[in-house]
Structure 1
Amino acid sequence: MERLTSFLCSLPPASSSMYLGMPQCQESMLKARAAVAFHHCRFAEVYALLEGNAFSPGSHPLLQQLWLRAHYMEAEIHRGRPLGAVGKYRIRRKFPLPRTIWDGEETSYCFKEKSRSVLREWYCRKPYPSPREKRDLAAATGLTATQVSNWFKNRRQRDRAATSHQGRTTTGAFLSSDEEFSPPGSPSTLFSCSQQLSAHPPPLRHLGPTQY
């Protein structure tokens, strides 16, 4: 990071204009500047770079994480203590992702809504997918097999806890396990499953790589 900082500082002020006709180079320079600003805790500069420039969809996941981490770190510095899950949730609501690094689709814990819909539909019919089915789900949603496995594990744990709390064993309507992480503007999604789970989950239609 120090080498990158030195390199950026060594560039003459007019260098940025050289990249106006080269979008990929210009975007790489902007991302490098944002990374350096984050490293040196220059949070206002990070926000200005991310909000003031449109980035390609392929850069969105990385820059979204940079946006959130910068806000988390800034809040932790001001408060003098680490943020918990509730604190981070409030930060996300207060500082929504700018459209320059977000395609506008509802997301939850970095999962696109289309991916979550596939997982919810499958869970409703088969909450214990096999390793092969997890790989198929990962390919269909653009997630990793680990992300798929963790989603099912967390969802089962939340449903069991809710069932135990309500004193009944039937599958009812529960909040999605990742609902806490919905960004501002996301509706509170309730999802209910049939009491009889089918052994034949829905066929998978690939959504393409989402990187969320």
Structure 2
Amino acid sequence: PHHRSLLLANGGGGGGSGSGSGCSPGAGGGGGGSSRAPHEELSMFQLPTLNFSPEQVASVCETLEETGDIERLGRFLWSLPVAPGACEAINKHESILRARAVVAFHTGNFRDLYHILENHKFTKESHGKLQAMWLEAHYQEAEKLRGRPLGPVDKYRVRKKFPLPRTIWDGEQKTHCFKERTRSLLREWYLQDPYPNPSKKRELAQATGLTPTQVGNWFKNRRQRDRAAAAKNRLQHQAIGQSGMRSLAEPGCPTHSSAESPSTAASPTTSVSSLTERA
């Protein structure tokens, strides 16, 4: 019930979209040449301190993350007040840490992303989304170094070089980046509807821990693979049909329906006669 007021209070603040918060050094925009007295600086943050509990901040982060409003989420994190005693609790709350990681990923601040993921233990519910961001960030960095898109082998090498940290991995083996149960769920939805609308993509993203963009990319790639497989099957059937027609058209080519030779045709009769005579 309180997160709407928090959004209104912080919707226009911060000025930046970085992944840091007011609890980190230098955040909040306070310059070194401020003319305010210490007690005046403290009084500026007394009201937000009373209203902004870590749970309320986490609720706002979850809401903005679910709606995909990354820009506003970044502004909200950047404008968090420096509240004595609250910074430690805020910096340990998983929803807030995950929100900072999401903002760092979408702004291309991969160094901060890696630092957050490597130094904080996340619960299993957050693993899927954080793993996808970890891998995608390393893919993008590798593409930038190579100057070209990565192929399947390139991505495999990147995954081997930068394995998932145990803070976001429970040890389950993966197939093509996604966990097998995630792939199974994606396949089930694909069979029901290969072209999900944005609402279904968001629903599936929440169920798998992925982002709607990742879900959309998976469906797009699956449709392309299915079309390629169908085209290959058509070509194979056409080639087999043409080969069969050529075989029938060639003169003197033996077929299963050709007439038997006189000797072959007579042999069953001869055998029966011989047996009759012996009897």
CA 13–85 in structure 1, closer or farther in 2 if over 3 Å, else same: farther
Alignment partner of 1:67 out of 134, 140, 149: 134
> Which gives a bigger RCO, structure 1 or 2 (Cα 8 Å, sep 6+)?
1
Q: TM-score, normalised by structure 2?
A: 0.40
CA distance in 1, matches of 2:174, 2:162: 15
Q: Which residue of 1 aligns with 2:120?
A: 53
Q: Which residue of 2 aligns with 1:120?
A: none
CA 95–147 in structure 1, closer or farther in 2 if over 3 Å, else same: farther
Q: How many residue pairs were aligned?
A: 127
Shift of 1:42: 1.1
Q: Which residue of 1 aligns with 2:188?
A: 145
The yes-or-no answer on 1:8 pairing with 2:51 is: no
Moved over 6 A (4+): 147-150
Amino acid across the alignment from 1:97? L
Alignment partner of 1:98 out of 160, 165, 171: 165
Amino acid across the alignment from 2:156? Y
Deviation sequence 1:58-99 (CA, Å, 0-9, x none): 110111101001111111122222111111111001001111
CA distance in 1, matches of 2:146, 2:172: 32
Which structure carries more helix by proportion?
2
The yes-or-no answer on 1:17 pairing with 2:88 is: yes
CA 98–4 in structure 1, closer or farther in 2 if over 3 Å, else same: same
CA distance in 1, matches of 2:106, 2:138: 13
The yes-or-no answer on 1:36 pairing with 2:103 is: yes
CA 37–65 in structure 1, closer or farther in 2 if over 3 Å, else same: same
CA distance in 1, matches of 2:149, 2:186: 29
Shift of 1:105: 1.8
CA distance in 2, matches of 1:79, 1:47: 21
SS of the aligned residue for 1:81 comes to: coil
CA distance in 2, matches of 1:148, 1:60: 26
Shift of 1:19: 3.4
Deviation sequence 1:82-129 (CA, Å, 0-9, x none): 1111111110010011111110122212234xx69xxxxxxxxxxxxx
1:110-125 equivalence runs, <5 A: 110-112=178-180
CA distance in 1, matches of 2:148, 2:128: 27
Amino acid across the alignment from 2:120? N
CA distance in 2, matches of 1:8, 1:39: 14
CA 13–91 in structure 1, closer or farther in 2 if over 3 Å, else same: farther
Question: What RMSD, in angstroms, separates the aligned Cα atoms of the two structures?
Answer: 3.1
1:184-199 equivalence runs, <5 A: none
Does the aligned pair in 1 maintain the 2:172–2:179 contact within 8 Å? no
Q: TM-score, normalised by structure 1?
A: 0.51
Q: Which structure has the bigger radius of gyration?
A: 2
Structure 1 spans left out of the alignment, 5+ residues:
117-137, 158-212
Deviation sequence 1:123-143 (CA, Å, 0-9, x none): xxxxxxxxxxxxxxx9xx666
